[in-house]
Amino acid sequence: MDKKPQNRPPEEPVSEGIPAPEGPANLIDTDYVIGQDNITTSTMGVNLDLHGKVFTISSIVVLLFVVLTLALQDTIAPVYDAIFSFLTGNLAWFFIFAANIFVILCLGLIISPLGKIRIGGADAKPDFTYVGWFSMLFAAGMGIGLMFFGVNEPLTHFGTSFDGGSWAPLAGAEGDAAGAAALGMAATIFHWGLHPWAIYAVVALSLALFSFNKGLPLSMRSVFYPILGERVWGWPGHLIDILAVFATLFGLATSLGLGATQAAAGLSYLFGAPESDITMILLIIGITIIAIGSILAGVDKGVQLLSKINIAMAALLLFFVIAVGPTLLIATGFFENLLNYVVHLPALSNPFGREDANFSQGWTAFYWAWWISWSPYVGMFIARVSRGRTVREFLISVLLVPSIVSVLWMTTFGGTAIDQYVNQGIEAVRDAGVDLQLFIMLEQLPLSQITSFIAILLVIIFFVTSSDSGSLVIDSITAGGKVDAPKPQRVFWAIIEGAIAIALLLGGGLTALQTMAVSTGFPFTIILLVACYAIIKGLMSEPKAV
């Protein structure tokens, strides 16, 4: 907003009422003042402004889990595994069912008249350009996974489909290479298409709506206002926020640790760098330092800039592979895979009576729990940068456009890899470990030294863009929804994230704790279902857009 200086005569009475956001909107009437439960101190020249309960309890819980996991990993890892297998095994139907609701709600809102409502009030202006906005939401939401699973997942599903068996999606296509490839691509796109983005969109839209249009703090608990009313400012709200901090911090820290392992594997493959603890610790420290620089520079000049660089490099790699790889195959494959996806979508997303239990529980339910456990972080970040967009514009950009990009990405990387294996008989790409498959695939193409280097750089920058936006999100939740808490706090969270990653890397337990973090997907699925209700209720209570 940029208002002209107003030279009003001071005699003019000043209104005391709360004005609407820009243009007509409908603020929720509450006596809660943001930051009223916060503790503010100034120790040794560092100002702090924190939500007493959320900050203290989530810090203690996080510390407890790290210490327990490090001290008792052999005892505790099976416990985490058991919890997680129970969730994906027995409640797979619930994850799959809920995710379908999210997709249907989002698609419904795009075509409904509610889609005209603008986030931030009818006259709000977007804070970012389309390119900046899209880069940020894509880099935060998916980037890193696409690097690792772009080659691996299509190949894996192709393999199981071709061989048949219980891990094959939809009973597979035994002995039929073309059918197996089609099924493999459809299954992969299913996991990276509409469903994950609908999960993010539900969280992001509900938070944006309740923050920008309803005037509640930018924190998970605000979404519960339509159900809990003023009680969200008490313990029920504290618990929701603590859970969000837990999921975000462990999701990021464990991914950072595992990511460093994978980046180190790539570096050793390319340059013969030793795959030692030192390399990985240096990588984590480096990523954390760049992330701190980015959050000090802020959302506009830090996170946005890095995300743009990130997306530009990813696009470069994508178009390079399209150009030097099997171009025609990718071009036709894009439309074929899109069609395959649509054709197989009803069967793949069916929650009940599945014959392919291993696939639907081990892959789909795992993915849904994973995306959902990331959703508080990605959703809150997307919400923060989406002011000024209409609901329709928001959903097209957060749901449809990224899904199309995923189709193109998977077709390019997965399709090229399957082509190498099936048509050119190159088995190396199939036999390589998951963290090297991308590099082996690139090796078969020209200029592989350069592209592999770009790929490693991309992996690292994707981690930076996750780490910086994640720290901003945790800081805002632990500061009671304030986005203007003192800077040292966000630096603190970025350092904690790196420190946990290093501790778990050295002491073991990265995978165990990641399992635990993904398990938070279950409670969050319930939170997201509430968010769906809140979105509809919130949008219905907005003044009709003209």
HEC per residue, 158-187: HHHHHHCCCCCHHHCCCCCHHHHHHHHHHH
Residue bearing tokens 């462990």: 250
Binding footprint of other proteins on the chain (CB under 8 A):
1-3, 5-8, 10, 14-16, 18-22, 27, 33-36, 38, 42, 45-46, 120-121, 127-128, 211-212, 215-218, 295-302, 384-385, 387, 472, 481-488
Nearer to other proteins, 119 or 455 (CB): 119
Nearest distance in Å: CB 62, other proteins: 24
Nearer to other proteins, 438 or 531 (CB): 531
Nearest distance in Å: CB 283, other proteins: 22
Nearest distance in Å: CB 37, other proteins: 11
> Which of 400, 409, 508 is CA-nearest to residue 144?
409
The token duo for 276 is 């030692």
* Residue 257 · residue 284 · CB < 8 Å: yes
Residue type, 218: L
Nearer to other proteins, 52 or 78 (CB): 52
Nearer to other proteins, 18 or 328 (CB): 18
Nearest distance in Å: CB 375, other proteins: 19
CA–CA separation, 456 and 467 (whole Å): 17
* Residue 374 · residue 123 · CB < 8 Å: no
Nearest distance in Å: CB 304, other proteins: 9
Nearest distance in Å: CB 5, other proteins: 5
Nearer to other proteins, 159 or 388 (CB): 388
Nearest distance in Å: CB 417, other proteins: 39
- Residue 484 CB partners (closer than 8 Å, separation 6+): none
The token duo for 429 is 């790409």
Nearer to other proteins, 208 or 249 (CB): 208
Which letter does DSSP use for residue 34 in this model? T
* Residue 386 · residue 119 · CB < 8 Å: yes
Q: What angle do CA 528, 534, 537 make, to 5 degrees?
A: 150
The DSSP code sequence of 326-395 is -HHHHHHHHHHHHHHHHHHHHHHT--SS-S-HIIIIIIIIHHHHHHHHHHHHHHHHHHHT-TT-BHHHHH
Nearest distance in Å: CB 18, other proteins: 5
Nearer to other proteins, 117 or 504 (CB): 117
Nearest distance in Å: CB 358, other proteins: 44
38: left (phi over 0), alpha (psi -120 to 50) or beta: beta
Q: What b/e sequence results for 74-87 when a residue is b if at least 16 CB atoms lie within 10 Å of its CB, and e otherwise?
A: eebbeebeeebeeb
Determine the 3-state secondary structure of 256 from DSSP.
helix
Nearer to other proteins, 15 or 75 (CB): 15
Nearer to other proteins, 437 or 469 (CB): 469
Nearest distance in Å: CB 484, other proteins: 5
Q: What angle do CA 153, 155, 159 make, to 5 degrees?
A: 115
Nearer to other proteins, 43 or 75 (CB): 43
